[in-house]
Amino acid sequence: MTTASFTRRGILVATPLVLGAGTLAACSNSGSASSPDDGGKNGGTLTIFTTGEEMSFDPATSQNLAITTLGLTARRLTSWKTPADAPTELIPDLATDVGTPSKGGQTWTFTLQEGLQFEDGTPITAGTVKYGLERSFASELTGGLTYHKVLLEGGADYAGPFSDEHLDSIETPDDLTLVFHLNRPYGDFGWIASTPAFAPVPEDSGEPETYATEPVASGPYRLESYSPGSHATLVRNETWDVETDQARLGGPDSIEFSLAQDASVVAQAIIADRSDSQDAFLASFVPTAQLVQAQNDPNVGDRLVTSGPGALEYLALNTESDALKDVKVRQAIQYAVDKEAYRTAKGGEISGDYATTLITPGIAGREEYSLYADDPTGDVDQATALLEETGAGDLTLRLVITDDQTGTAESVQQGLKRAGITVTIQPLDENAYSSEVTAGDGSAYDLVLSSWQPDVPSPNANLTPLFDSSQIGHGNYNLARYDNPDVDAAILEASSTLDPEEAHAKWAAVDQQILEDSPVVPLIYSKNSFIHGSGVEKFVIGEFPAYPNYLTVELG
C-alpha cells in the first residue's frame, strides 16, 4: 500500500490499491511451516473476516499477491513457497519449472504440466494462459498489475483480444508451451509470471465485465455464491489435483469471506475465541486497542501473530520543490527526523524496526547499511550544520497526509522543528491526495508520508516504482519526483541481469546510490499483527511478504 495511510504495492505503471483485507507478515506462527507435499488436512469451513465490501475474482483487474485471495481460485504459471524461517522461494505452479530464459533474458519459455483442468473439466492450455494475459490489456478491464504490459513486445500498442486481435509476443507453439518475447532482457520474469494476469481464462468465458463474479476456477476452490457487502463463498473445485500443486494444500472444504466487517468487533470475538470465530481469522491488522488487549490475554497466546519487518514506511522529499532541490538540505532532514518518535506514534516496538535502507527485509539482494544518523532519534547538530552550510534559513515545508496520519505527522513535525525547520501539516481525503500527489504536477507539497509493499520479492519491485524517473506523476508512485539519469541507467542494468548474485550486488549498489541523494527518509519497516481462532492451523507468515499464506491455512 503506498499513500500515506495505505500500503500500495509496487507497479511499473501504477494503479491505486487499498488492501482492504489487510497486510500480514512473519515472525511467530500458529503451527509449524508446512509443505504442500504433506497433502494437508481436509474438512470444515474456514471463515475470513474482511473489512472490504466487495471482491473481484478477475485476474486481469487484480493486484493480489500470489499467496492471498485470488490464489485460492486462480493458479498462475509460477507461485511462491513462504516458510516462516527461510526466504520466499519461487516455485512452479501451472508450469513445470520457473521459466527458461534465452537470448540474454529477452525471451522466456514455460511448459505447462499435462492434464490440468478448469472447474468444468476443460483443459488448461497455453492458449488459455495467453488469452488471460491478453485480457489484461483491454480498456474494459482496469486496475491490475502492469509489469508484463511494459515488458512484452508490442504491449504498449495492444488493446486486448476482444476485437480478435492477439499479441504476437506471446507464442503458443503447442498446447503446453508458452514463449514470451520481451522488449529488453529481464532477469525477474519468473517472478512476474506469478502475478494475477498469468492465470488461465477460457476464451468462451463470456462478457469481460462479468468474469469478476463468474470466474472459471483453476485452483482448489470455485466461487459458489457472492453478495457484495455480505459474503463470498468458495467450495471445492473437484477437478483440482493436489499432486500437481506445490503451492496449495486445499485443506478446508469451503472458505467463507465475511465482508464489510468491523475489525474491532471481529478482533474482540476472536480474542474471546467465540464458537463462531474459532475457525476464522481477521484479514486486517488487529486495531490498537484490541492489540493491547490480546497481548495481555494469556488465553490468546500464539493466536496473535506479529510479523517480522516488512513494508518500508518513509518520508518522501519532493526533489522538485524549490526548498528541497539542494541535496544537503535533504540530507539535513535525514539527520533531523526523529524515527523513535515516529515509531512511538505508530504504537512502539511492535509496529516495526527502524529503517536505514530502501530494499526491505526478506528480499534477496538487501544489504544492511546506514548512511545517516545511527541514533534513531536523529542528529540535530549535524542537521543544523548542513542547513547553515546551505544558507537555508527559515525553512517552511508542507507535509501532505491522509486524515488518519496526524500522530505520525506530528512526530515528523516535532523532529524537524529541533533543527529550525517549520512543518505545516495538510490532511487530504483520498481523492484530493490522488489528484495533488500521485497524479499532480508536484507543486502541492514538499513532504509526503507513505509506505511501500512490493508485489514480488525482488529489489526491482522495491526501487523501480519509487525512484525511476518514468514513475513520476500520472498516477505513479515516485512521490519524491526523483529524476537521476545515472540511477535510471543503473536500475535498467540491474533489472536486465540474469545471474542472481550479480543482480543482487547491482541492486544493493543502486539502493545506496539513491539514498546518497536523499529523496526519501526511511523510517521503519512496519510489522503487522493478526489474530486467528483456536481452530486455525498453519497460519504461516514468511519473511516476505508481510501477509499470511491463505493457500496453506488448515483447520484442526
Residue numbers of the domain that contains 146: 91-204
Secondary structure of 403-448 in the HEC alphabet? HHHHHHHHHHHHHHHCCCCEEEEEEECHHHHHHHHHCCCCCCCCEE
Quick one: 378 and 504 in the same domain?
A: yes
Q: Cα separation of 442 and 249, whole Å?
A: 47
Residue where a domain stops, chosen among 155, 187, 204: 204
Name beta bridge partners: 402: 428
Which H or E run includes 211? none
Q: Cα separation of 545 and 26, whole Å?
A: 8
Which pLDDT score is estimated for 272?
97
Quick one: 474 and 351 in the same domain?
A: yes
Residue where a domain stops, chosen among 204, 239, 273: 204
Which pLDDT score is estimated for 41?
59
User: Cell digits for 452?
Assistant: 511501500
Give the largest Cα separation in the chain, rounded.
72
Pick from 243, 221, 249, 216: which is nearest to 121 by CA? 216
Q: Cα separation of 29 and 26, whole Å?
A: 8
Residue 435 lies in a domain: yes
Distances (CA, A) of 312 to 2, 108, 510, 526: 9, 31, 16, 6
DSSP 3-state of 80: strand
- Where residue 194 sits, what CATH number does that domain have? 3.90.76.10
What pTM did the predictor assign?
A: 0.87
Q: What is the pLDDT along the chain (556 residues), one digit of tens a residue?
A: 333 333 343 333 322 222 223 322 223 223 333 344 444 457 899 999 999 999 999 999 999 999 999 999 999 999 999 998 888 999 999 999 999 999 999 999 999 999 999 999 999 999 999 999 999 999 999 889 989 999 999 999 999 999 899 999 999 999 999 999 999 999 999 999 999 999 999 999 878 889 999 999 999 999 999 999 999 999 999 999 999 999 999 999 999 999 999 999 999 999 999 999 999 999 999 998 999 999 999 999 999 999 889 999 999 999 999 999 999 999 999 999 999 999 999 989 989 999 999 999 989 889 999 999 999 999 999 999 999 999 987 899 999 998 789 999 999 999 999 999 999 999 999 889 989 998 889 999 999 999 999 999 999 999 999 999 999 998 889 999 999 999 999 999 999 999 999 999 999 999 999 999 999 999 999 998 999 999 999 999 999 998 899 999 999 9
Which pLDDT score is estimated for 88?
92
286 DSSP 8-state letter = P
Quick one: 188 and 318 in the same domain?
A: no
Quick one: 505 and 388 in the same domain?
A: yes
> How many domains is the chain partitioned into structurally?
2
- Where residue 321 sits, what CATH number does that domain have? 3.10.105.10
Residue where a domain stops, chosen among 178, 204, 230: 204
Residue 109 lies in a domain: yes
Which pLDDT score is estimated for 1?
36
**H-type helices in 50-208, by residue range?**
126-135, 147-151, 189-192
Which pLDDT score is estimated for 430?
85
Separation of first and last alpha carbons in the chain: 32
Residue 226 lies in a domain: no
> Residue 276 burial by CB count (10 A; 0-12/13-18/19+): exposed, middle or buried?
exposed
Residue 251 lies in a domain: no
Instruction: Kindly report each contact of residues 81-85 with a partner whose C-beta sits within 8 Å and lies 24 or more positions away, as own/partner.
Output: 81/35, 81/246, 81/247, 82/540, 82/541, 82/542, 82/543, 82/544, 82/545, 82/549, 83/33, 83/540, 83/542, 84/26, 84/27, 84/29, 84/32, 84/33, 84/540, 84/541, 84/542, 84/543, 85/33, 85/543
Residue 466 lies in a domain: yes
Residue 258 lies in a domain: no
Residues 6+ apart with CB under 8 A from 120: 216, 239
CA 522 from centroid of its chain's CA atoms: 18
Quick one: 195 and 326 in the same domain?
A: no
Residues 6+ apart with CB under 8 A from 399: 409, 412, 413, 423, 424, 425, 426, 445, 446, 447, 448, 449
Q: Cα separation of 508 and 369, whole Å?
A: 10
Pick from 478, 424, 415, 429: which is nearest to 446 by CA? 424
Quick one: 317 and 189 in the same domain?
A: no
Other CB atoms closer than 10 Å to residue 320's CB: what's the count? 15
Residue 410 lies in a domain: yes
480 DSSP 8-state letter = T
Distances (CA, A) of 180 to 149, 160, 386: 12, 16, 50
DSSP 3-state of 128: helix
Let me know: does 50 contact 63? Beta carbons within 8 Å: no
Say which residue the cell 539542494 belongs to: 326
Residue 161 lies in a domain: yes
